[in-house]
Structure formats: C-alpha cells, structure tokens
Amino acid sequence: MNRLALLVAGAAGLAVYAIAPAGAAVLPADTNETVTSCGYSGRQAGLATRVCAEITGTTVEFYGTVALAGPPSPGSPVPAARELFTTLSAEVVGGTTPDTQTKTVIFASSNLEVRGLVGTAPCGSTVRGTFGVSSFPWTANPVVHEVTVTC
C-alpha cells in the first residue's frame, strides 16, 4: 500500500468526524457513500483557496479549490484570466515524505478545482492535504486540512 493510499484513507475518516454533529452516527469506512470535508479558506495570489478531502470507503482524494476572494465591484470589468502555479500534497501524518503534484492552471474568474492525489489509508491514521497557489508576484501561502480515517 503506498503512502498516498494511506493518506487518503486517513483523510476520509477524519472528514466523517469533522462534519458529523455530536451524537450522530459515523459511517464505517467500508461504505460506498462519499463524504467530503474541507479545511478553512485562505487567501493566496489574491484569490480564495481551500483544500478538501473526498472519502469513499478507505479511498481518499485530496483536491484544492480556487475562487475569487470576493465579488467584483459593480461596473468593473471581468477579471482577466491568469496563469496559476499550484502545488497539492498529501501525506499520512507521521509517515514518510508526502506525495506532491504541481500543475499550471488558468483561472478565469469561475471556481476551479485542482484534483489528482488519490490513495488509501489504514483505519485510525490521520492524513494531511496541503494546497498552495502562486502567481507572479505573489508567493504561495498553503492551506492545510487534516482528517482521521475511522472504521
């Protein structure tokens, strides 16, 4: 089992805990229902960013989202499309080196998802996803999301 797989499974479990109200039933990790949880929104390259975990059974997929940080001012032109450099990484906390994916994307004012890291993780492990976005002259200020895989 590779590290990303372990990371993904861990993220799935924590997501269930993070979104379930107190006293709510927690789905076992082997169900086929997909549960999504996201970390806090951050500002990078003048945009709102966030990293999310999508968990189905013991499979976890981390992905990043990019959106405008706020609505354009009335009467202002639509923001011009621009090139963004993204870095998405996933790891099992306390494990080895994270799996990392870098991608160049074009952001043209509509919400954007950057996907690509999928894996599984054993029950009880905690997984962490990190998403960074940069665009000249702004450097990345990565957002982080951790979840624990529950079974």
24-49 pLDDT, tens digit each? 234 444 456 788 899 999 998 888 99
CATH for 3-148, options being 3.40.50.2300, 2.40.30.170, 1.20.1440.230, 2.60.40.2420:
2.60.40.2420
Q: Which of 74, 37, 71 is nearest to 55 (CA)?
A: 37
Domain positions in the chain are 3-148
9-30 pLDDT, tens digit each? 444 444 433 333 333 234 444 4
- Give the pLDDT confidence score for residue 31 in this predicted structure: 56
CB 66 within 8 A of CB 107: yes
Give the residue with greater pLDDT, 116 vs 106. Answer: 106
β-sheet with 143-148: strand ranges across: 99-107, 82-92, 126-134, 143-148
The percentage of residues in the chain with a pLDDT greater than 90, rounded to a whole number, is 34
How many whole angstroms separate alpha carbon 40 and alpha carbon 143? Answer: 7
- Give the pLDDT confidence score for residue 12 in this predicted structure: 43
What pTM was estimated for this model as a whole? 0.73
Question: In the chain, how many H helices and how many E strands?
Answer: 1, 9
- Give the pLDDT confidence score for residue 124 in this predicted structure: 80
**CA dist 87 → 42, 52, 114, 148 (Å):** 15, 14, 9, 22
CB 3 within 8 A of CB 11: no
Average model confidence (pLDDT) for the chain?
A: 77
Q: Are strands 47-56 and 34-38 parallel, antiparallel or unpaired?
A: antiparallel
- Give the pLDDT confidence score for residue 148 in this predicted structure: 83
What integer is the mean pLDDT of 97-102? 89
How many whole angstroms separate alpha carbon 39 and alpha carbon 72? Answer: 25
Question: Within 13 A of 85's CA, how many CA atoms are on the CB side?
Answer: 8
